[in-house]
Amino acid sequence: MKTPPVTYEFGAHKGKAALLQVHPVNQAALLRLVETLQLKSYSRNTINTYRNEFTQLLQVLKDKNVDELDAERLRSYFLYCTNQLKLSENTLHSRINAVKFYFEQVLKREKLFFEIPRPKKPSILPKVINAQDIKRLFEATTNLKHNTMLKLCYGMGLRVSEIVNLKITDIDSKNMQVFIERAKGKKDRYVNLPESILLQLRNYYLAYKPKKYLFEGQYGDQYSIRSAQKVFTDALRKAKINKKVGIHGLRHSFATHLLEAGTDISFIQELLGHNDLKTTLRYTHVSKQTIKNIQSPLDKL
């Protein structure tokens, strides 16, 4: 049996590599999964995640046809993932989602997964950097491009994918707003451009002269997410901030510091682009200011 052609538009190299990792009997199933995700307009990250997680199941099956699995066999597989592979709750959720998508959305077996329980996800609080450390972080970052990038991440509460996707045309300096296009969940939103960054932003534009994207790589292409993450980790090291946190911590800090300043939680939700207020309410658990305002009943006696 010949290897089916990789028909999906992006990630062709990775997609072909994934195909070669599974037995020919299941290669068509992997392609159908990816194509269905594409037709439903799932994001690139989701397609890559589902493809990779589904590939793990196909590798275990070897020459057994995945379409012949029943609920009991799938339940045994997820027990194997839990007890033998020791997968984390989040990874196990992703794997179940990928396999569930194939059987329910591709094969149309909607009732197959009723008998498979899901692990309870851990309640993980956002990691926040205090304002003094963020100031040190900026002072230690002397490169104009890197400094501007980090300041915009914090000053507008952006995800790393959003900062590298920013286009010059997205910035409206007259209205002091920035358009965030098709962010997580394919949701557009506007955020406020900090007044303190305006002069630096103009100086950056004159110095680097970006063509399309606000932050471009060495050869004029779009700045990569990995490079932006490295900019942040290098800044942490230079500022001697001994904290295990990624660049997403700037977004968490933006939300927490707004909350501590008395900003309404619904406004923070809109600025962050959260669909569910519960996601935004996590920041009330890490905000020291809100906890400090709670008076002990002892003091009222």
Q: One of 127, 184, 189, 282 is an active-site residue; which one?
A: 184
Please give the angle made by the CA atoms of 279, 284 and 288, to the nearest 5 degrees: 145
**Helix or strand (DSSP H, E) at 179:** strand 177-180
b/e map of 120-159 (b: 16 or more CB within 10 Å)? eeeeeebebbeeebbebbbebbeeebbbbbbbbbbbbbbb
Q: Write down the catalytic residue from 146, 151, 159, 252.
A: 159
Exactly one of 50, 213, 223, 283 is catalytic; which is it?
A: 283
Is 248 a known active-site residue? yes
Of 51, 251, 252, 257, the active-site residue reads 251
Specify whether 184 is catalytic.
yes
Residue 257 annotated as catalytic: no
Is residue 283 flagged as an active site residue?
A: yes
Q: Determine which one of 64, 109, 145, 248 is catalytic.
A: 248
Active-site residue flag, 237: no
CA–CA distance, 208 with 229 (Å, rounded to integer): 20
Q: H-helix or E-strand containing 269? A: helix 265-272
Structure tokens belonging to residue 250:
């700037």
Could you list the active site residues? Answer: 159, 184, 248, 251, 274, 283
